[in-house]
Amino acid sequence: MLGTMLLIFPVATLAQSPACPLAAGDTVARAISQVERRPLADSANAPPGYPPLLREAGLQGPVRVAFTVDTRGRVEPATIRIERSPNPGFDFPVKRAVATWRYAPVSLCGHPVRIRLDHEFAFQLPAPERDTLRLRFLFDADMAATAATDTMPDGTPRTTVGWQRIPLAVAAPPWGPATLDSAEEAVLAHLLDEVGPSPSGMTRVVCLVGQGGESADPDSARLVRLTRPGIAVLPYRRCPRTFASMVYTAGKRPDPPGEDPFGMQVRTRTVLSPTRLLLDVDVSRGMGGSNYRCGVERRDSEWRVRCTILSVWSS
């Protein structure tokens, strides 16, 4: 009886004891469940950036990556593997970011060991904006990258990589009439450059509407400043309706031959900040035209202008 007990007791003791110490030269990468504590990520670990082309294309989704951390707490670049991705364009920035990450070394039986980890990046864009006033004001300084970390139900760390627009408060900062007029003139000059001179070599005519409507003349000094080689800028109400038609009206001198003139009118001016302004401008010609939305910003005592076409019409 005693001999039987002596045989059973050592077997039970061996079954309950851990496999320590580790065998010499043991370099196997362990799972989280095998180590004494979870690895602690360095607070300086930076998430990947949102690839600009994928952001502009509206692509988003989760990217899951697996990798191994060595005994010093450094990620082994050769072990980084993308397990799931909505688009290959996300893979390189994720691998590049993870390769720089650091962790507090983990141990097993008191010895540092390699460990296998997973991480998920959720690339997420904001919902489409309904207000094109913000959407089409194309200044990159109004965009900001975001990153927030949480844990998935299976315990995998997750970083949500976002890209959000910084709201621009529509306020009434101290924009004096002279500053508003200067910004507006910068936009008109930009659009005149878009019109350009006529390929035929004839002088191209642009008819400018004053602030009081089609019956109001713009400031004469502005007309002079905007006029340039190959382009004559005239008050709208004094412009011929068309050069090309040469329609004869009894008692009226016919218009000279040439191109149809362009019409240009500022529809709205919206202040966004002490340095930024939005203008809606119609540029017409003949029976059609385009509506432009232009952002103008004060940069080092000069105006920076960007315009985009919102709509095109013909009748």
> What mean pLDDT is reported for the chain?
82
pLDDT for 150:
93
262 has a pLDDT exceeding 80: yes
pLDDT for 131:
44
C-alpha distances in Å from residue 278, one per residue of 9, 94, 130, 135: 86, 37, 17, 12
Tokens encoding 139? 């200044």
Share of the chain above pLDDT 70, in %: 78
Asked if 53 and 30 count as a contact pair (C-beta separation under 8 A), the reply is no
Asked if 280 and 267 count as a contact pair (C-beta separation under 8 A), the reply is yes
Looking at residue 222, the DSSP 8-state letter turns out to be: H
Please give the residue that has the higher pLDDT: either 25 or 213.
213
Tens of pLDDT, residues 83-125: 999 999 999 999 999 999 999 999 888 888 999 999 999 999 8
Strand partners, 289: 284, 313
Tens of pLDDT, residues 143-175: 677 889 999 998 899 999 987 766 555 555 568
Q: Using CA atoms, how far apart are residues 53 and 59, in angstroms rounded to an integer?
A: 9
User: Model pTM?
Assistant: 0.51
Mean pLDDT throughout 245-264?
Answer: 70
Asked if 206 and 264 count as a contact pair (C-beta separation under 8 A), the reply is yes
186 has a pLDDT exceeding 90: yes
Tokens encoding 283? 């540029």
Q: Using CA atoms, how far apart are residues 292 and 282, in angstroms rounded to an integer?
A: 6
Asked if 151 and 113 count as a contact pair (C-beta separation under 8 A), the reply is no
All structural domains of the chain, each given as residue ranges with its CATH number in brackets, are 26-165 (3.30.2420.10), 177-314 (no CATH)
